[in-house]
Amino acid sequence: MKIKNISEPQKFFEVLNNCKGSVELVTSEGDRLNLKSKLCQYIALTQMFKDASIDEVELVVSEPEDMSMLLDYLIKG
């Protein structure tokens, strides 16, 4: 799943923390970062503050109900 324009990273990470399965960020180099890891979240937040927002990210979600929760967040905010 590709997500664009994450303007509220803190809220986004709150939703990720509620996911039951794994949620991975796929980097432009093809590396996968576990976004449920606080260290990986810190790295992502550091990049966001540097760039002021995230324009686009690619996520791999292992559980269908987590995908539904993320889509609900993206649609309703």
Tens of pLDDT along the chain (77 residues)? 887 777 777 888 899 899 999 999 887 778 888 988 988 888 777 766 565 555 677 889 999 999 999 999 888 86
Kindly report the CATH number that applies to the domain delimited by 2-76: 3.30.1340
CA angle, residues 40, 36, 41, in degrees to nearest 5: 30
pTM over 0.75: no
Domain ranges of the chain: 2-76
**CA–CA gap between residue 70 and residue 47 (Å, rounded):** 21
